[in-house]
Chain A
Amino acid sequence: MSLANRMALASPLIKAVCVEANEFPQLSNQFRVRGVPHTVINRKASFVGALPERDFVMAVLEGAGVTMDEPHDEVTGPSTEISA
């Protein structure tokens, strides 16, 4: 969540919302949150896990529909599964 916050500080177009998943189960279910951190971009694209900065930025840009110069694999990172 820190990277998302830092991106919001770096870009006036980005808003970062850190959601306590257990406190908002309906929202968590809406975005099929099964592990954390789970990042949702513009309520459309998402990825799970803590990513390195470069991968995080690429994933956000791709999720926001920005055309990337270099192709990259689908990204995932270490995450914690949420028990039901």
Chain B
Amino acid sequence: MPADRWGRRLVLTFYMALIPEPVRQQLKDRFETVLTGPVHLTLYTKPGSSRLILPAGLGCPTCEDARQMAELLRDAAPEKITLEVVDVSRDAARVEIDQIDDVPTIAIGSNSETGRVHFQGLPTGTEFPALIDAVERVSRSEHGLRPESVAALAKLTDPTELLVFATPT
């Protein structure tokens, strides 16, 4: 089953409890058959954040949930997926090098380097299937684009940033 359809099925279950055991097991079963290569997740967060809504720039109401989500992914395939947690309040240089705008952000890469696929904010709802899809594609080194698209993208000569705004529903 494609990751997006499979992921949407999980979304409702996901909301019932943040990460219920059946979801963890489903993810483990899926990753066991789909993942082929290593995936490195980097979670950029602020420590001690809670769900309290504080004035702009203070706190991070979704950082704890993002941490649980990142750990869910790692624990689903610990032999393939590694997780690094970066405290942005203590490592400003890393934030600048990795070009992180805000927290929580989950970056997905194929090795210990920061990947070029980022999820800024808690990727729930329609974003959750995209997160799973990204993990699987990174693991399989499988972008799935048509050859014509790859040839067209080869015309790029400078770094290009794509910000894709989405909502959970």
Q: Which residues of A contact B (CB under 8 A)?
A: 1-2, 4-24, 26-28, 31, 33, 36-43, 53-54, 57-58, 60-61, 64-66, 80, 82
- Assess the B120–A6 pair: CB atoms within 8 A: no
A9 touches B117 (CB 8 A): yes
Which chain B positions have C-beta within 8 A of A82?
A: 167
From A7, A19, A26, contact of B56 by CB (8 A): A26
Partner of A43, one of B142, B155, B163: B163
Q: Is the interface of A mostly helix, strand, loop or mixed?
A: mixed
Whether the Cβ atoms of B122 and A23 lie closer than 8 Å is yes
Among B130, B145, B150, B152, point to the contact of A1 (Cβ < 8 A). Answer: B130
* Residues of chain B with a CB closer than 8 A to A18's CB: 118-120, 123, 127, 130, 164, 166
Q: Chain A residues near B122: list those with CB within 8 A.
A: 20, 23
Within 8 A of A (CB), among B67-94: none
Task: Please report B residues at the A interface, Cβ cutoff 8 Å.
Answer: 4, 56, 62, 99, 101-102, 105, 115-123, 127, 130, 133-134, 137-138, 141-146, 148-150, 152-169
The docked-state distance in angstroms from the alpha carbon of A9 to that of B99 is 17
Of B99, B142, B158, B162, the contact of A16 (CB 8 Å cutoff)? B162
B6 CB, min distance to chain A CBs, angstroms:
13
* A42 and B144 alpha carbons, distance in the complex (Å): 23
Q: Does B162 contact A19, Cβ atoms closer than 8 Å?
A: no
Given the contacts A24-B102, A66-B155, A37 and B165 also touching, CB distance less than 8 Å: yes
Can you name 18 A-B pairs with beta carbons within 8 Å? A4-B164, A7-B143, A9-B117, A11-B154, A14-B156, A19-B163, A20-B166, A21-B167, A22-B168, A39-B164, A40-B164, A43-B161, A53-B149, A54-B149, A57-B152, A61-B156, A65-B158, A82-B167
A20-B166, A36-B165 as given contacts; A10 in contact with B120, CB under 8 Å: no
In the complex, the answer to whether A28 meets B165 with C-beta atoms within 8 Å is yes
Chain B residue with minimal CB distance to A58?
B152
| B120: contacting residue among A17, A53, A80, CB under 8 A | A17
Task: Indicate whether A41 sits within 8 Å of B165 (C-beta atoms), given known contacts A11-B156, A16-B117, A26-B56.
Answer: no
B-chain residues with CB within 8 Å of residue A2 when the two chains form the complex: 4, 130, 133-134
Complex CA–CA separation, A7 to B99 (angstroms): 18
Q: Is the CB of B130 within 8 A of A40?
A: no
A26 to B56, CA, bound (A): 9
